[in-house]
Amino acid sequence: MKKSLVVALLLAFVFFAFAETVLNMVEVFTWPERTKVLKDIIEKFEAEHPGVKINLISPPYETAYQKVYTMISTKQPLDIVEVGDWSLSSLAAMGGLENLEPYIKNWDAVKNFLPGLLDAARTYNNTAYLIPNAVYVKTLYVRNDVLAKYGIKEAPKTMLEMYGMAKYITDPRKGQYGFNFRGKGFPTDFIDLVVTSFFDDIDPNNMYLTKDGKIIWSDPRAKLGLELYVKLFKDTAPKDAINWGFSEQVNSFSSGIAPILFQDPDTLGILRSNLPDDAFKTAPLPVGPSGKVYPHFGFSGFGIVSYSEHKNLAWEFIKFFHRPENLAYWCKNYGVLPPDKTLYYNDPFFSSEKYAGWKEMFDHPEKYQFTKQPIWNKNWGKWNELQEKTMQKVLLGQMSIDEVLKEWAKFWEEAGLK
């Protein structure tokens, strides 16, 4: 009897000594190189936390959000979830995400976030349901080697200067164009940047409203901005740019066909592998006649699932991930901007000339006002489809600028924009 008891106690000791706490974590922007970087950081966390294992779930990119919605709606075991900005509100609205405000309150690292980033992430009910770990902000890329052939040494500082520069170098007979136009693949960001740059009173909490609460698409300044956008297509871009998406933009920039480009930081890694380092540079987005331009923070990050049984441990992982050395490793290898502003000064990689465009914008919020798109509105997905479809009609001469602005204003009035 005593022998049996001793054996049972020993077995119990062995079980508890080697039992693991498992955190289930799902990523949504899955691709092999990125997943490897994420696993490297997970392994470092596990090494610092003996007895903790993170089970990373990596569904295919195309079906990842469907997987997340299914897991959360059926309350499958899940602790940490990756969320992108366009899906944040819907996941929070279904009760799937934990309110992170109590955790943030006692977290010193939050003071190092880029100005306005955390506010941008408070998309739903003005509450943080995720912590951004990857930032997407468009900046201006220029092929300085191509522009130098035309005697141009500086990147354009205003939208009108950019148009004049792009028109000056455009010569269809030589296959040379100026502006790298985005025709398809949800060109929302590109249209919005040009149009809102004609305003000096955009609501920082809603890009489609002025500070006095009026919808911008009914404002005469929106017509001026959209006229410039159409001229960029007609006067400075090849005709087939009406069908260009991300890949076509990057390819035409790499080949020098169109040496002026608005794009996100993930483009930087592609260009570095395709071009000599001195062939291109980044610069701040050109400002409009208002003296301002209104970029917005695109972001993704980690949230904690509301029914998780390991919320505090999940938070420990999020904090660990945001250590400067881990963020730097992640962002360098993933090709995104770090949310920690100190890295732009303390890390030679992010303080290099290639990041000059973003650094200048972050340092001068009086000119580069980071503004939220109304992605919390339930009609946001329909808006992206409508804007692309109707903009195509304008570019093809099948719809006038006045007609499209009237339709856009009506859409947002009916959508209850506020």
| One domain for residues 393 and 249 | yes
My answer on whether 95 and 233 are in the same domain is no
Instruction: Give domain status of residue 185, yes or no.
Output: yes
Q: Is 60 part of any domain? A: yes
User: What pLDDT is stored for residue 4 in this prediction?
Assistant: 60
pLDDT at 120: 87
Nearest partner of 297 among 120, 139, 46, 48, judged by Cα:
120
Q: Which pLDDT does position 381 carry in this prediction? A: 84
Q: Residue 291: what pLDDT?
A: 97
143 in the same domain as 281: yes
Tell me if 11 is assigned to some domain.
Answer: no
Per-residue confidence in pLDDT tens, the chain, 418 aa: 455 655 444 544 444 444 589 999 999 988 888 899 999 999 999 999 999 999 999 999 889 999 999 999 999 999 999 999 888 988 999 999 999 999 999 999 999 999 889 988 998 999 999 999 999 999 999 999 999 999 999 999 999 999 999 999 999 999 999 999 999 988 999 999 999 999 999 999 999 999 999 999 999 999 999 999 999 999 999 999 999 999 899 999 999 999 999 999 989 888 988 999 999 999 999 999 999 999 998 899 999 999 999 999 999 999 999 999 999 999 998 889 999 999 998 999 998 889 999 999 999 999 999 999 998 898 998 999 999 999 999 999 999 999 999 999 999 999 999 7
- Do the domain assignments include residue 222? yes
Same domain? 122 vs 171: no
First to last CA, the chain: 74
Instruction: Please list, in sequence order, all residues whose beta carbon lies within 8 angstroms of the beta carbon of residue 324, skipping any fewer than 6 positions away.
Output: 340, 342, 343, 346, 347
- For residue 180, which amino acid is it? N
Same domain, 262 and 124: no
Q: Are residue 258 and residue 156 in the same domain, yes or no?
A: yes
Q: What pLDDT does residue 367 have? A: 96
- 285 and 211: one domain? yes
The kind and range of the H/E element at 300 are strand 298-304
* Phi, psi (rounded to 5 degrees) for 122: -85, 55
**At how many degrees (to 10) do helices 220-236 and 188-196 cross?**
120
Whether residue 358 is contained in a domain is answered as yes
Provide the residue range defining the domain that includes 310: 18-136+298-363
The burial class, CB within 10 Å (0-12 / 13-18 / 19+), for 260 is buried
Q: Is 170 in the same domain as 229?
A: yes
7 falls within a domain: no
Whether 305 and 290 map to the same domain: the answer is no
Amino acid type, 333? N
Read off φ and ψ for residue 171, nearest 5 degrees: -145, 95
Instruction: Indicate the DSSP class of residue 378.
Output: T
- Is residue 186 domain-shared with residue 310, that is, in the same domain? no
Which pTM value belongs to this model? 0.83
Q: Are residues 271 and 163 in the same domain?
A: yes
Q: What pLDDT score was predicted for residue 406?
A: 98
pLDDT of residue 13: 44
Task: Tell me whether strands 80-84 and 281-283 are parallel, antiparallel or unpaired.
Answer: unpaired
Is residue 369 domain-resident?
no
| Residue 371 is assigned to a structural domain of this protein | no
Instruction: Give residue 215's pLDDT.
Output: 98
Token pair of 400, please?
Answer: 């006038």
* Residues 6+ away with beta carbon under 8 Å from 145: 256, 278, 279, 280
Residue 322 belongs to domain with CATH number = 3.40.190.10
Q: How many residues does the chain have?
A: 418
Q: Would you state the pLDDT for residue 385? A: 93
Number of domains in the chain: 2
For residues 104 and 164, membership in a common domain is answered with no
Closest residue by Cα to residue 180 from 97, 243, 261? 261
Give me the residues paired with residue 135 across strands.
299, 337
